[in-house]
Homo-oligomer: A and B are copies of this chain.
Amino acid sequence: MVLPRAAKTQRRTRIQEEKEERILEAALEVFSAHGFRGATVDQIADVAGMSKPNLLYYFRTKEAMHRALIDRVLDTWLDPLRAFDAEGNPVTEIRSYIRRKLEMARDFPRESRLFANEVLQGAPHIEDELKGPLKELVDEKAEVIRAWTKAGKIAKCDPYHLIFAIWSTTQHYADFDVQVRAVLGQGNSGEGRFEDAARFLERLFVDGLQVSEQPAS
């Protein structure tokens, strides 16, 4: 036998798992930084510390690498939204969704940029995932939000655009990191910006910008 993928019985060797792990880690690094077309197999091989043909022994094409990466990351990426609980307190749910998304932007910026690159360039490789699983999940959660608004638990608003707003504001800190740093300047670009962002966003989504009742001290 020559090809490691699609082993008859099972994913046998431990060496396969290790190498595939290393490759996907390197692929994440490179794809997230340059997009699909901008990334090169040589670069990924270099980061993974192995030869290009060796890489192509585990993943037959550049696209196969990209696909494997997408498949692995997409599920994790949508976990916070799945945790959205219809039975919970709306404000608490929204607050913790924001916090979780912000934590992911902080801890997994490469994953965020991987998707951002992909979607930004027209999502040529993940169109099906967007129109299928993603849409279905969002539809489901949008219904939850709609129920909350109908029950008068939160202000009436378009649930889809609410979700878009949470996505964009949180992922902004991963996807546009260099711009955020540049604007905040050297002094304020420590990791504290995520806490500031969390404080701001939780307040924004819950209270808006209306004049606060307690005047600044």
- List residues of chain A with CB under 8 Å of any chain B CB: 33-38, 91, 94, 113, 116-117, 119-123, 127, 130-131, 134-135, 138, 149-150, 152-158, 160-165, 167-169, 171-173, 175-176, 178-180, 182-185, 188, 196-197, 199-201, 203-212, 215-216
Contact = CB atoms under 8 A, between A and B. Distances in A.
Contact of A134 (B182, B209, B215): B182
Q: How many copies does the complex hold?
A: 2
A172 B175 CA distance: 11
Main secondary structure of the interface of A (DSSP, over half): helix
A116 B122 CA distance: 13
Contact of A207 (B33, B94, B113, B210): B210
Contacts of A130: 178-179, 182-183
Contacts of A188: 160
